[in-house]
Structure 1
Amino acid sequence: MRKQQGRKVELTQSKYFSIDSYFKSPPNKKVKIETEIPNVEAKKEQCPSCSVLIYVESESLEVHVNNCLDSQQSKESSVGVTWKDKFACKVDSEAITKEEKENIVTEQKQCTTTGEKENSETKEEVKPVKRILPSSWKSLFSLSSSTSTTGIIRPAEIKNTSTKSNRKMCPFYKRVRDTRFVVDAFSYGKISDCDGYFLTHYHTDHFGGLRANWSHGPIYCSQVTANLVKQELHVNSRYIHALPMNELYPIPGSNVTICLIDANHCPGSVLFLFIIQLESGIKVRHLHTGDFRATPRMCLHPLIRQPENAAINCLYLDTTYLNPQYAFPAQEECIEAVCKTVKEELNMEPKKAAVPTVFDNWIKKKADPMTLGSQVLIVVGTYTIGKERVFFNIAKMLKCKIYAPEKKRNILLCQQDEELKSMLTNDPTKAQVHVVSLRDIRGDIMSKYLNDHRTHFDSLIGFKPTGWTYKSSKSEISDMKLAPLSHIIIPPSDRTLDLSPYYNHKNIKLYGVPYSEHSSFRELASFIASLDIKQIIPTVNINQLDSMKVYFNNWEQEKSSKRIQVVEYPNEDHW
């Protein structure tokens, strides 16, 4: 804790990661905070994709980054980025002939034309460019069973899937190798050579482009995601195919068998394990993580665990946090810290005191078990879907109801969780835990929120769970960049996490919580170290391909000299 301009600024303290001041509390003013938005510059955080500075108190950085990444990747696909120049990747001259290179240039010109006309209201059709696919190119799309090294997918593996001037090209990393299927690719219209569309979870940057008038083909997803797509987007149910979890399911009319595995991201999010029977009789296995928070449980899954199962030929990997600066704690540790904070604020922590008298015991029996804390309102920020475990565990600990606005409540009911359903109420006065939008966890907004519920609550505790702004120190980042895989996967010696409020004014306290639903750098390393993977295809931050390639190549070299086994873990829920 330190002094700053005559006021206290409390920082989250933990040896697990280092945090500088993230939020700034509004300065004390004579004008009531309930009626004035503090005129102070909020701290900015830099988007790791577009480098723009974001006011984190006015917009969720994580939401911005997800949308930014999706927008950037779509743009790169539509305007015909020269992948050789963009990623500084060398194309093997022996693998691609002069004739093929001429076709690539022709395709890029076509893509550029597509991008220039994309915002035009005209719907002119242009003749599709004739695609020549010689045998040498075909070899780039086939996987040899004898392949023994991990690699990044090459630029030459991009397919031209656009035939209309007003349609964006589907990026190569959204197509599943050896199949006619795509994943999270709804913003590209009807994709040629595509027999089905897979949806990993219900977040805007993944289902974008999916609307009520969808008619381009079947959609495969989990039951929870199917419920949300039907309810929120009103997509015709005949296109939606909810698949079972943890079971092998053959996709009709294809050479693909699929298995859905919990992705530990948001409710309904899944990993897709594609098992493909090639014409040669060889079976290949591709794993698509979507957005995920890696856990040992995934690597221990009966259809993934090795050496019981064959290697993963292609891993389509969520590389959102493939950077040493992101070293946030496990979700369980964050939830434990939140519950501990709530207990302390409600004076629920047991204290060593004198032996209670008969009168004390009588008062205790007569009192409502929630009397001591019933005037404290606990508010948790969430996304449209996500962060549910935080408010669920608080309410479960307090044995109280949860209030959410009608739209949010309907989304929560799509999860088909009977325990959660029993805890929900549409009466805010009957719930001690309230759910609001993540961006509303601000001093001015929470002051007004408390004032609106003043008849039942006289103080408020708010929690803002997000992982983007919690980073390691510069020295830790530097050490981690140079560290071998065997060092990166070592868990921290001190995993204690204590939260301190970033805002503390009158009867309102707001806490930032380093709770993320994406894998941290160490968790990504542990996940990769636990599996035999032939090739890794990043699906996020692909403009940082060169730096990612360094990690993957170094880790693969280290793995090649050791027996593949699941990295040691304290429990199956986290490393």
Structure 2
Amino acid sequence: MESGMISVDKWSSGSQVYFLTHLHADHTVGLSSTWRRGLLYCSRDTAKLFPTKFPDFNLSLIRVVEIGCWHSLSLVSPNSGSATTVYVMAIDANHCPGSLMYLFRGEFGCMLYTGDFRWEKSSNTVEVGRTMLLNALKNEKLDILYLDNTYCNPRFSFPSREVAAREIVDIINAHPEHDIIIGIDSLGKEDLLLYISRTLNIKIWVWPERLQVMHLLGFPDIFTTKTALTRVRAVPRYSFSVETLECLNTLRPTIGIRPSGLPWSMKAVKANENVFGSSRSQTHEPNRDLRSAERSHEYIYTVPYSDHLCFAEIQEFIELLQPVKIKGIVSSLSSNIEPYYFFRHLCGTKQAFWRLHQKLDNEEKLEKVGTVDIKSTIPGTSSVAGRKRKKVQFVNRVSLLRKSGHGVRIADS
């Protein structure tokens, strides 16, 4: 595809149309209420939520992309000046409400941009999406795969979200006299909260802006802003801290639960271990019903509930599609690696020429994984060793492991 036609999650000028995968902040860097650079394509749920994030945005620029249908775009070739048609299909990314991946087809061939996603074997939504994607590709070769490589490292092996959710309910049941604080973002983890509510037959407290999001998304009336109605509260991740929990415990017994892949990512990067899997410590096999939660503080449990693929799931996805070329969409530190390094044998022959220079770059990264200093790579965080009084400082988003610029301008490389 020629440069100057389509951008995904990238909001600078120079493209004719723009696509948004979902509304998490690291995917909207450069997007604002005054943005006017072209038509913006997104899911129906994302369009519903747009005014909550960008109150004065010109909604006439938004175009809803229905899942599972081919949509045609009449664009102009920047090189020849002639008209060209690009076809795009949206597929559920199963990351957060409204999240999509986009399959593009045109004279340039076939490209898939996954955005952030999690495709677990046990999910019915994933099974539908997998069938939809394979039917859309039919016998056509996928030329370029832009892939969520957030946890593209053999050290990252999470259980399914279903297993992690059961662990969280077990933790809550094990503390019947405690208030429960769960740290979440302004979008995402809705399925987890629904599971807790239905399993324990309780309402869940959320802050007012979050309640508005729940109502816009059409979730059942199980959420409340009245603290007297429930002992389980979902709070903004930025307010989830040791200091907050220590203060709450002066009033009544309280524990915090942090559902995220990030603590495991930080631990794996910091550990002095072989990233190819010969570590001295135990790893978590995906989809195993194991006790993977950890008590990281007197009042805090961390649970590997991840909305991104773990390493084994990345491999399964690449094996399913066997693209000619592959590129990770996350530019990060040593916490992850370009997928080409591990999976070049699953790609077409053109891949070797297209990404050959990445091999040396990633070998240098791998050498540093065992010794990287979390304090020096993630501003505002510190290690938790060698202190008289144990403190745990949490990072509030996986995106802090990433560069602020996210997304791509779709073009041949």
Same fold (TM over 0.5): yes
| The one of 134, 147, 162 aligned to 1:317 | 147
Aligned to 1:231: 52
Residues 536, 547 of structure 1: alpha-carbon distance in 2 compared, 3 angstrom cutoff: closer
| The one of 252, 255, 268 aligned to 2:98 | 268
CA contact (8 A) 1:313 1:534 kept: yes
Structure 2 counterpart of 1:397, one-letter code: T
User: How far apart are 1:305 and its partner, in Å?
Assistant: 5.1
What is the distance in 2 between the residues matched to 1:557 and 1:479?
26
Q: 1:512 aligned to 2:305?
A: no
Aligned to 1:433: 232
CA contact (8 A) 1:382 1:388 kept: no
Aligned to 1:250: 72
What is the distance in 1 between the residues matched to 2:138 and 2:226?
52
Structure 1 counterpart of 2:149, one-letter code: T
Residues 410, 309 of structure 1: alpha-carbon distance in 2 compared, 3 angstrom cutoff: farther
Q: 1:538 aligned to 2:328?
A: yes
Q: 1:379 aligned to 2:170?
A: no
SS in 2 for 1:497: coil
Structure 1 counterpart of 2:39, one-letter code: P
Aligned to 2:133: 303
Q: 1:529 aligned to 2:350?
A: no
Q: 1:442 aligned to 2:241?
A: yes
Residues 202, 323 of structure 1: alpha-carbon distance in 2 compared, 3 angstrom cutoff: same
Percent of aligned pairs sharing the same letter: 26
- Alignment gaps of 5+ in structure 1: 1-140, 143-158, 162-179, 347-374, 482-487, 559-575
| The one of 467, 473, 478 aligned to 2:276 | 478
CA contact (8 A) 1:461 1:510 kept: yes
CA contact (8 A) 1:306 1:532 kept: no
User: How far apart are 1:345 and its partner, in Å?
Assistant: 2.2
Aligned to 1:466: 260
What is the distance in 1 between the residues matched to 2:30 and 2:206?
27
| The one of 8, 30, 33 aligned to 1:212 | 33
Aligned to 1:173: none
What is the distance in 1 between the residues matched to 2:181 and 2:193?
8
- RMSD of the alignment, in Å? 3.2
What is the distance in 2 between the residues matched to 1:260 and 1:293?
15
Bigger CA radius of gyration = 1
Aligned pairs for 1:336-375 (under 5 A) are 336-346=166-176
Aligned to 1:196: 17
User: How far apart are 1:332 and its partner, in Å?
Assistant: 1.4
CA contact (8 A) 1:265 1:386 kept: yes
User: How far apart are 1:207 and its partner, in Å?
Assistant: 0.9
What is the distance in 1 between the residues matched to 2:138 and 2:209?
45
User: How far apart are 1:439 and its partner, in Å?
Assistant: 3.5
User: How far apart are 1:432 and its partner, in Å?
Assistant: 2.6
Instruction: Give CA deviations for 1:133-156 in whole Å, capped at 9, x if unaligned.
Output: xxxxxxxx68xxxxxxxxxxxxxx
CA contact (8 A) 2:67 2:90 kept: yes
Residues 216, 398 of structure 1: alpha-carbon distance in 2 compared, 3 angstrom cutoff: same
What is the distance in 1 between the residues matched to 2:259 and 2:170?
15
Aligned to 1:65: none
- Alignment gaps of 5+ in structure 2: 76-83, 350-413
CA contact (8 A) 1:441 1:463 kept: no
Aligned to 2:341: 550
Structure 2 counterpart of 1:532, one-letter code: Q
CA contact (8 A) 1:318 1:538 kept: yes
Structure 2 counterpart of 1:326, one-letter code: F
Residues 308, 217 of structure 1: alpha-carbon distance in 2 compared, 3 angstrom cutoff: closer
Aligned to 1:35: none
What is the distance in 2 between the residues matched to 1:447 and 1:333?
29
What is the distance in 1 between the residues matched to 2:112 and 2:325?
11
SS in 1 for 2:26: helix
Instruction: Give CA deviations for 1:171-230 in whole Å, capped at 9, x if unaligned.
Output: xxxxxxxxx1110111x2x22xx2211000101111112111121111000112112222
User: How far apart are 1:440 and its partner, in Å?
Assistant: 2.9
Number of residue-to-residue matches in the alignment:
328
Aligned to 1:502: 296
Residues 226, 546 of structure 1: alpha-carbon distance in 2 compared, 3 angstrom cutoff: closer
What is the distance in 2 between the residues matched to 1:242 and 1:449?
44
Residues 447, 275 of structure 1: alpha-carbon distance in 2 compared, 3 angstrom cutoff: same
User: How far apart are 1:252 and its partner, in Å?
Assistant: 5.2
